Amino acid sequence: MVISNLEKLYNRYFFSPFMGLLLGSEAKEILRTAGDAIIDAKWEKRNFFYNSFINAAFGNIGFAQLILTRRCNIKCPNCNVPLSADYEMSLKEWKNIVRLLSDHVQPSIISITGGEPLLRKDDLVEIISDFTERDIPVSLNTNGLLLDETILRELRDAGLVSLAVSYDGIKPKSSSKVIENAVLAKYLGIDTTLQMTISDRNMHLAYDIRDIAFSHNLGFSPLVMQNLDGMFSSGAYDQPNEDFVRSFFSDVVNETRKFLTNNNYRNSVKYYEYIRDNYPRLWHCEKYNWLIINEDGRMMHCQEIAPSEFKLADILENPRDFVKYRQENAKDCLGCHYNCYFESENRGLGGLADLVKMDYRTRAVLGLRGMNLLSETIETKQL
């Protein structure tokens, strides 16, 4: 495919006086004589046209999300993720994804989610280990029910640095187990956050869940239910009351600014201020700063837009078509409140990844749970 694309370039541009600069003598020799010869990987990296489309496809990727499986051990009404999938990639295929992401995309941080990724625990541990060896930090999203000390030690030893545990407080029977597992993860040295999605069903619990997190020195990340009929927004629950949201996030902003380095809120002041001042209006991102890989290998540039037919290897072979697809589908964006998308544009995932990669004791000393203050330093460095 790469050769055939170069042949098209040759037919159109070969006799340009700038061709030597754009493709170089190696390319011209290949096009003259080799036809379908194998291109040296070093030359391919230098190719002007290929690199321009690769940069368009992946140049700004800071956040890559892997949906390891869509299977789940529970059924949350507001979640569309466990919809049936015909195929899940094998461990060998996922390891190839790790290699391709590391060699060509180089994201600042990887988020592994599901479904429930711990349903593939052995594969999960090996995938995290592979990313760790390539110096790419990994965060894991889980409902927390399948965690135990053995699994947590395996995840920690594989290099997992951040754990986000979904906790909405609606099911009392499982709530105590989730908290127990989150506290254990924290004790074992994994930076751990309770992530609450606030809806009309549980908004009365928001302050209590925050207090539970803080009492155990866990991070707390409040999100707002949104009904987009997407992967994490089925519309089964109604959005919370607007007055409550504005009041709650106003308190969050005040507490974050007051305590700075000794509070456990895990998002920036800017994010909380945006929700406080604009809810229920949705936020529109730049759309091109992240990448999602489904359990079957298909790519998405947003978790709320249906998967494409592109796979990572296809894009690396012919990035132009994916760039065009992404530009067209971005027009369908309704907006969202997702904190990961907001934060990657507003405080820089590169700086956050540097913090995440620190060992746990160093993070504790610096107060990673006070990243809201550090984010201002990160932003200043980026100016």
Domain harbouring 272, CATH code: 3.20.20.70
Range from 20-29, 39-48, 276-285 that averages highest in pLDDT: 276-285
pLDDT at 348 over 60: no
Question: What pTM did the predictor assign?
Answer: 0.74
Q: What is the pLDDT of residue 366?
A: 34
pLDDT at 157 over 50: yes
- 11 in any annotated domain: yes
Q: Does residue 75 share a domain with residue 32? A: no
Q: What is the pLDDT of residue 189?
A: 96
Q: What is the pLDDT of residue 83?
A: 58
Domain count, the chain: 2
Q: Does residue 126 share a domain with residue 161? A: yes
Q: Does residue 68 share a domain with residue 42? A: no
Both structure tokens of 14? 């070969």
- 57 in any annotated domain: no
Q: Does residue 199 share a domain with residue 127? A: yes
- 190 in any annotated domain: yes
- Report pLDDT digits (tens) over 93-151: 999 999 999 998 888 899 999 889 999 999 999 999 999 999 999 999 999 999 999 99
Both structure tokens of 16? 């340009």
Q: Does residue 170 share a domain with residue 101? A: yes
Q: What is the pLDDT of residue 325?
A: 79
Q: Does residue 229 share a domain with residue 148? A: yes
pLDDT band at 47 (very low <50, low <70, confident <90, very high): low
- What's the CA gap between 370 and 372, in Å, rounded? 5
- 87 in any annotated domain: yes
pLDDT at 359 over 60: no
- 131 in any annotated domain: yes
Q: Does residue 27 share a domain with residue 115? A: no
> Does 358 or 320 have the greater pLDDT score?
320
Q: Mean pLDDT in the chain?
A: 75
Mean per-residue pLDDT, 234-244: 76
Mean per-residue pLDDT, 28-49: 45
Q: Terminus-to-terminus CA distance in the chain, angstroms?
A: 40
Helix boundaries (H) for the chain: 2-13, 19-22, 24-29, 41-46, 48-58, 91-100, 121-133, 149-158, 172-187, 206-215, 242-259, 269-278, 312-317, 319-329, 339-343, 349-356, 360-366, 371-382
- 327 in any annotated domain: yes
Mean per-residue pLDDT, 258-280: 82
Q: Does residue 230 share a domain with residue 319? A: yes
Across 82-91, 101-110, 274-283, 358-367, least confident range: 358-367
Contacts of 138 (CB under 8 A, 6+ apart): 109, 110, 111, 112, 128, 131, 132, 159, 160, 161, 162
Q: What is the pLDDT of residue 291?
A: 85
- 52 in any annotated domain: no
CB atoms within 10 A of CB 130: 21
Q: What is the pLDDT of residue 59?
A: 57
Q: Does residue 82 share a domain with residue 139? A: yes
CB distance 327 to 57 below 8 Å: no
- 312 in any annotated domain: yes
pLDDT at 380 over 70: no
Mean per-residue pLDDT, 29-58: 48
Q: Does residue 212 share a domain with residue 356? A: yes
For 219, the domain range is 62-382
Q: What is the pLDDT of residue 336?
A: 76
Q: Does residue 94 share a domain with residue 38? A: no
Q: Does residue 236 share a domain with residue 187? A: yes
